[in-house]
Amino acid sequence: MPTDLTDAASLIAAGQISARRALEHALDRADSESAAKAFLRRFDLMAREAADRVDRLAAERRPLPALAGLAVSVKDLFDVAGFPTTAASASMSDAAPATSDCPAVARLRAAGAALVGHTNLTEFAFSGIGINPRHGTPANPATANLDPLPRIPGGSTSGGAVSVGAGAAWAALGSDTGGSIRIPAALQGLVGFKSTARLVPTRGCIPLSTTLDTACAITLSVRDAVRVHEVLAARNVTLEERPPARWHLAVPRTLVLDGLEPAVAIAFDRALDVLRAAGYGIVEIDLPLLSQAAALQRGGGLSAAESWAWHRHRLADRGAQYDPRVALRIRRGEAMSAADYIDLLRDRADWIERMGDALAPFDALLSPTVPMVAPPIAPLVADNDAFFAANALLLRNPSLVNLLDGCAVSLPCHRAGDWPVGLMIWAAALADDRLLSLSLAIERTLAPSRQGA
């Protein structure tokens, strides 16, 4: 089978494989041990119907829709008509089936995607680890050959990333509030694109933070990310080609390079060396504004305040059914006053403006997506201190982009056979097309070195 969404789409269009055959391969992988606990509910019948519709179009030599019957998983935050949306929480176990698709799902369906199932996640999307005590935690398929101990998938889009990594989906619809697309992508050697939040509607998606939530996707390549984003955002991406020397990139020394695990530091430094040798203009800069971001997370930040607004009545009625670690973080918002919240919004807007001035000379910034490789699951299940320490480290770098209202791509930069490591390429709001163009170029540049060439 092809390993890339656009390759598969072209093979289907050429009549070399059928959409149904590609889908059955994905459904077989969804039943495999590699995808265990990735799905909360499956949509097999609906998916087969979508693939068959594409094959009928192909047989009639009619134009195929953009996603051509390919398997796409859906994080269990997004409404899919006919199925309940439960946010992987026991407190939502009696949710009624959705009466309509949310806009993101409707756009995927209209583009011919075969929606294969709702995927597991950190309950209510509230952590970067991916552990779920209610439904179990899907193990990271990318580390299975490196360590017999099951390692975290990353969160909160844990099941979505595993569905792609295990071959059960070509792409995974998810959400990114502080890194929930990019963290699991980095830990599993996948591509995660967090678009500018306003570009994709989040209606019909259970919110974590109405200000920060972004509906976006995990894919196998940047090319796939472009295709899926065009569907989700209902817009055409304008790609540009530049010689490497015309890309002006910066590596912040402040905060994002602190405490890197050796495997991350080695992979990141090697990637920078390859890019510099190819002619990319890369400078290191001090960016003290990044250290000020911690003040924007005071009292739990926007996520605590806005999640408390959504959950407060449910917590009063069903608090015992919540994951205690999730409930603890949501309840931090109870102590935030309306004045505190307004101050936080004002301070964030001021920080975004100052960051925009600082980033203006550069096309993008480069950093490790996260400072660590995926840790084993069991110690984080057993120990609260270990859990919250790892969670804070995983969120540290990617959450800066959400606070910035920016866009970012995490793409793999490790060598084949090494621990998965993500390179994050990021920029301010509405630089999405430039960022995707750059990410395509960087992905091509790194490809030989990642295979050891």
| Cβ atoms of residues 264 and 373 within 8 Å | yes
**Which of 180, 155, 161 has the alpha carbon at shortest distance from 218?**
161
Q: Is 180 a catalytic residue?
A: yes
pLDDT at 2: 56
Measured between alpha carbons, how far is 186 from 191 in angstroms, rounded to an integer? 7
pLDDT at 9: 75
Q: Is residue 24 part of a domain?
A: yes
| Cβ atoms of residues 40 and 30 within 8 Å | no
Half-sphere exposure of 134 (CA within 13 A, CB side): 21
Taking the whole predicted model, whether its pTM rises above 0.75 is answered as yes
Q: Is residue 140 part of a domain?
A: yes
Q: Is residue 323 part of a domain?
A: no
Q: Is residue 78 part of a domain?
A: yes
Task: Name the active-site residue from 156, 158, 163, 367.
Answer: 156
pLDDT at 15: 85
Give CA separation, 402 vs 95, 248, 302, in Å.
29, 22, 11
Q: Is residue 388 part of a domain?
A: no
Give tens-digit pLDDT for 290-336. Answer: 999 999 998 999 999 999 999 999 999 999 999 999 999 999 999 99
Task: List 171's β-bridge partners, or say none.
Answer: 72, 219
pLDDT at 11: 85
Task: Name the active-site residue from 89, 180, 209, 307.
Answer: 180
Q: Which residue ranges in the chain fall short of pLDDT 50? A: none
Measured between alpha carbons, how far is 250 from 253 in angstroms, rounded to an integer? 9
What burial class does residue 301 get, using C-beta atoms within 10 Å of its C-beta: 0-12 exposed, 13-18 middle, 19+ buried?
A: buried
Q: Is 439 a catalytic residue?
A: no
For 117, list phi and psi in degrees, rounded to 5: 160, 165
Residue numbers of the domain that contains 68 = 5-233
pLDDT at 7: 79
Measured between alpha carbons, how far is 28 from 100 in angstroms, rounded to an integer? 28
Q: Is 89 a catalytic residue?
A: no
Number of domains observed in the structure of the chain: 1
Token match 């992905």: residue?
443
**Which of 208, 101, 116 has the alpha carbon at shortest distance from 156?**
208
Q: Is residue 56 part of a domain?
A: yes
Q: Is residue 262 part of a domain?
A: no
**Which of 422, 417, 375 has the alpha carbon at shortest distance from 146?**
417
**Which of 123, 124, 125, 101 has the alpha carbon at shortest distance from 113?**
101
CATH number of the domain where residue 143 is located: 3.90.1300.10
Give CA separation, 14 vs 9, 11, 161, 242, 265, in Å.
9, 5, 29, 31, 43
pLDDT at 14: 83
Q: Is residue 347 part of a domain?
A: no
Task: Name the active-site residue from 75, 175, 367, 439.
Answer: 75
pLDDT at 4: 63
